[in-house]
Amino acid sequence: MSPQNNTLGIWLMVATAFIFALQDGLSRHLAGEYNVFMIIMIRYWFFASFVIVVAARKAGGIRRAAATKQPLVQAFRGVLLALEVCVMVTAFVVLGLVESHAVFAVYPLLIAALSGPVLGETVGWRRWAAIGIGFVGVLIILQPGYGVFQPAALIPLLAAFMFALYGLLTRYVARQDSAAVSFFWTGTTGAVAMTLIGIWFWEPMAEGDWLWMGLLCMTSAFSHFLLIRAYEVAEASAVQPFAYLQLPFATALGVLVFAETLRANVVIGAGVVVAAGLFTLWRARVKAV
């Protein structure tokens, strides 16, 4: 058991958010040139290899990492996350990093809203108010009343819903399984699912793009390693708010590298969503004390 060090955990989470944003930029570039399913399949091959190596080096090995009393839920979690990644990367290509992340930032509010029906948790009126305000922020971003509404704007919202459900199922299985078991099932079942889908969309990749693909795979594994370390050395409630830094990091990447436009309504709406999300995290921490 690692000693608690919230300062180190926060810096690890900041680094994780930055690498996640870099990973999103690489995914956006590659998915703009090649089929999304193929890109995610290759990424999951590397991710699964990383998960298996980590499991093999721990006490009990792979057998202990795979031991679960709820295999169907664990498998569903893994497949759901893999499909969510496909949806989100599609959003990057269609909408860009800026708007996709602005809408996706609503996922902590969805977790709070769904924690009642899925996990049986109590959600007080303050958090319901924050959830409502957060969705007002999403409407500001989407601007459904101005001009022609883009249905494509719903793609990152679908990804946010899928990721929220994945997060809730992760909390559900944690009642019986360790984080190591959940991590193992996430990587392996996701790789199997993506292979069954992605193998049908294989296409030749230019040599130079294999370098970008290799960097994407390495950042994917390294970001998960940093995330695990952040939760090992610090309290989850202390580091979780800093995960929101992925939004400004991805926004900077979208504007500076991909020449995306930063519209005023997106900035305002994202600010409202993030503020509401931080409030729900704070309320959850207060109730836990």
Which of 26-30, 44-48, 91-95, 126-130 has the least mean pLDDT? 126-130
8 Å CB contact between 209 and 30: yes
In a domain? residue 206: yes
Reported pTM: 0.86
Quote the pLDDT of residue 8. Answer: 86
In a domain? residue 25: yes
Total domains in the fold of the chain: 1
- Among 258, 221, 210, which residue's Cα sits nearest to residue 39? 210
Report the C-alpha gap between 184 and 53 in whole angstroms: 10
Q: What is the pLDDT of residues 13-30, one digit of tens each?
A: 889 889 989 999 999 999
Report the C-alpha gap between 229 and 223 in whole angstroms: 10
In a domain? residue 180: yes
In a domain? residue 169: yes
**SS (HEC) of 259-277:** CCCCCHHHHHHHHHHHHHH
Q: What percent of the chain has pLDDT over 70?
A: 91
In a domain? residue 10: yes
Report the C-alpha gap between 164 and 110 in whole angstroms: 6
Averaged over 1-15, what is the pLDDT? 76
Question: 236 CB contacts (<8 Å, ≥6 apart)?
Answer: none
Angle at alpha carbon of residue 172, lines to 170 and 178, rounded to 5° = 65
In a domain? residue 1: no
In a domain? residue 139: yes
Quote the pLDDT of residue 140. Answer: 77
In a domain? residue 19: yes
Q: What is the pLDDT of residues 59-81, one digit of tens each?
A: 888 999 999 989 999 999 999 99
Q: Which domain holds residue 269?
A: 6-288
Averaged over 256-275, what is the pLDDT? 85
Quote the pLDDT of residue 148. Answer: 44
